[in-house]
Structure 1
Amino acid sequence: MQLTLLKSKIHRATVTESDLEYEGSCAIDADLLEAAGLHPYERVEIYNLTNGERFATYAIRAEAGSGTLSMNGAAAHKAGVGHQVILCAYCGLSAEEAAEHEPRIVWVDQANRIRRTHGERPEDAA
């Protein structure tokens, strides 16, 4: 049996760009991709805290340190500049793997800079 568990989460990120004419996807600052353990072209679920929209697309790499979170193509209809969102990716695991699994969670500030990551105490964060 395979269980579907949370793999990665970027919590309360701010949409910085919206490009309806782009072919699709969500461009994410490379530093955030790495911290969350997300891969380019990996499916991400996006939960818009501003308007309640929930949708799926795939991640692409944006410049490291840029703070970019760009909704492209159809996703631009679901989340606009300034919207607060949660990005999640899930994985299929066996029951044995699930017993040991811990997701990679990244909390960001309003400029999409990493405040802390899963396992890090808030007072340890930069």
Structure 2
Amino acid sequence: MEHPIDHSRPNAIAQVLNDALVIRLRIAPRTVIWLNDTQHYLFNAADPELGERIAVGLPDLLVAPERGPVLIVGTMWPKHFAALAGPPATDVDDRHAQARALLAARDLAVTSTFAGHR
């Protein structure tokens, strides 16, 4: 397991994606990438382009044949998912178009409570 060290989670994953795409390193076959609180990676008010680069880079990891199976799992609270996957605030400036495309029809809702013991 590797956890990139960076004071900024988006910068850390962007560096891993850049390394993986440019020099084909660091992401081995049978790797699971877990992006806890995925909104921190895809939504960055200070640098919206960083989130968009991440949204474009993640699917590229899935289609590289030399990498073998890779699983990307992201967790996100419903309100953040709705903000990123829902319709843009304006038709003119969709600052999260790539994130929206990445998340389209890819949610798996989890119940808010666990079932009791039987």
TM-score band, normalised by the shorter chain? Answer: under 0.3
TM-score (normalizing by structure 1):
0.23
**Which structure is larger by alpha-carbon Rg, 1 or 2?**
2
TM-score by length of 2: 0.24
Structure number with the bigger relative contact order (C-alpha 8 A, sep ≥ 6) is 1
